[in-house]
């Protein structure tokens, strides 16, 4: 006969504390979202999404700002994905944790991931705007965000690769595949869920960033003509309306709602594409 151990008072108290903290976080998040919904949804229409802002943002829309935000994110991802995947593969497959060089690289990434965003903004202003001559531009802002996102993306992708069982590596070697083929044909697809999570975390941080973009992408709210043109992001627009423009709270709430919707849509699209790719790969392997 087996006996079920009754929970102790300390265990019950700890469980209640954990659930209470989780409930508090959920309540705060729901209250914040409800406030944004009630104050911002009424302002949103097609004209708000397509027209340029007017009267310092008190009226008009966010059309140019939305385009600038998407372009900045596009530049960021174009830099992060190839460099981040290459760095993660290097750390996971070629630089073991026991090596001095591997420990140095990992410690550097941990430090970079905790640096405040305004420091990245000043760094991007000096490097991209001044030294490289890109000035205040969408390209400068996107590359600066890439510097911020890379440490997080590299570490999450590296851990995803390291979590894959060595059976996959040994199986690939037994089939006569070289290391490069094993990495890109076996390990990378197996690590795709972890890569997606790291990418989504980076996208969320990039879209919500303000301090780094003020010093790099600029403050102009007109429609950008190229990647070398200055552009204002949604987060900067929210900051400007709420802090510097009297009577801009209504449009600030509406812009915040659009930013949240944009983050959710990008997350859903990325997850859907990952699932579709995994299903197609599974069908091909079954054939």
CB contact at 8 A, 203 and 77: yes
Residue-wise pLDDT tens digits, 189-214: 888 888 888 888 888 878 888 888 98
Query: Rounded mean pLDDT of the chain?
Result: 86
Q: Which of 103-107, 161-165, 273-277 is least confident?
A: 273-277
How many Cβ atoms from other residues are within 10 Å of residue 30's Cβ?
10
Tokens of 32: 């914040």
Find the mean pLDDT for residues 4-21: 74
Look at residue 8 in the predicted model and tell me its pLDDT: 63
**What is the SS3 assignment for 53?**
strand
Helix (H) or strand (E) holding 76: helix 63-89
- What single DSSP character describes residue 244? T
Look at residue 170 in the predicted model and tell me its pLDDT: 86
**What is the SS3 assignment for 208?**
coil
Cα gap 241→251, rounded to integer Å: 7
Reply yes or no on whether the pLDDT at 68 is more than 90: yes
Reply yes or no on whether the pLDDT at 264 is more than 90: no
DSSP characters for 104-154? HHHHHHHHHHTS-HHHHHHHHIIIIIIIS---SSHHHHHHHHHHHHHHHHH
Strands 53-54 and 59-60: antiparallel
167/281: higher pLDDT? 167
Confidence of residue 45 (pLDDT cuts 50, 70, 90): confident
For residues 125, 229, 82 and 151, what is the CA-based torsion angle, rounded to 10 degrees? Answer: 30
Confidence of residue 100 (pLDDT cuts 50, 70, 90): confident
Confidence of residue 282 (pLDDT cuts 50, 70, 90): low
Residue-wise pLDDT tens digits, 110-126: 898 888 888 999 999 99
Q: Which CATH number fits domain 70-286: 1.25.40.10, 1.10.3720.10, 3.20.20.70, 3.20.20.450?
A: 1.10.3720.10
Give the residue among 245, 233, 238 at the shortest CA–CA distance from 56.
245
DSSP characters for 218-240? -S--SPPSSTTS----HHHHHHH
Reply yes or no on whether the pLDDT at 128 is more than 90: yes
Reply yes or no on whether the pLDDT at 3 is more than 60: no
Confidence of residue 44 (pLDDT cuts 50, 70, 90): confident
Q: Which of 36-45, 194-203, 228-237 reaches the highest mean pLDDT?
A: 228-237
The residues that bridge with 60 in the sheet, in sequence order, are: 53
The residues that bridge with 53 in the sheet, in sequence order, are: 60
Record the pTM.
0.86
Confidence of residue 287 (pLDDT cuts 50, 70, 90): very low
Domain locations along the chain: 70-286
Find the mean pLDDT for residues 43-69: 88
- What single DSSP character describes residue 92? I
Confidence of residue 286 (pLDDT cuts 50, 70, 90): very low
């Amino acid at each position: 006969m087996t006996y079920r151990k009754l929970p102790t008072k300390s265990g019950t108290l700890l469980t209640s504390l954990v659930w209470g903290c989780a409930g508090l976080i959920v309540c705060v998040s729901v209250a914040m979202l409800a406030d944004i919904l009630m104050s911002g949804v009424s302002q949103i229409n097609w004209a708000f999404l397509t027209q340029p802002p007017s009267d310092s943002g008190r009226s008009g829309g966010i059309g140019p700002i939305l385009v600038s935000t998407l372009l900045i994110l596009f530049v960021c991802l174009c830099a992060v994905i190839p460099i981040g995947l290459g760095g993660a593969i290097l750390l996971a497959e070629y630089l073991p944790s026991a090596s001095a060089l591997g420990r140095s690289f990992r410690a550097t990434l941990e430090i970079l991931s905790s640096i405040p965003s305004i420091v990245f903004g000043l760094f991007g202003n000096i490097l991209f705007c001044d030294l490289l001559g890109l000035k205040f531009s969408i390209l400068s802002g996107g590359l600066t965000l890439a510097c911020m996102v890379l440490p997080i993306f590299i570490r999450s992708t590296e851990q995803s690769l390291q979590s894959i069982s060595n059976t996959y590596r040994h199986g690939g070697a037994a089939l006569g595949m070289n290391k490069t083929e094993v990495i890109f044909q076996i390990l990378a697809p197996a690590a795709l869920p972890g890569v997606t999570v790291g990418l989504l975390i980076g996208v969320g941080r990039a879209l919500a960033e303000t301090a780094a973009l003020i010093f790099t992408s600029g403050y102009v709210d007109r429609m950008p003509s190229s990647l070398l043109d200055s552009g204002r992001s949604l987060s900067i627009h929210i900051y400007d309306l709420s802090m510097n423009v009297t009577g801009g709270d209504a449009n600030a709430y509406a812009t915040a709602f659009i930013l949240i919707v944009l983050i959710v849509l990008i997350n859903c699209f990325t997850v859907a594409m990952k699932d579709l790719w995994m299903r197609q790969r599974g069908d091909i392997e079954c054939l």
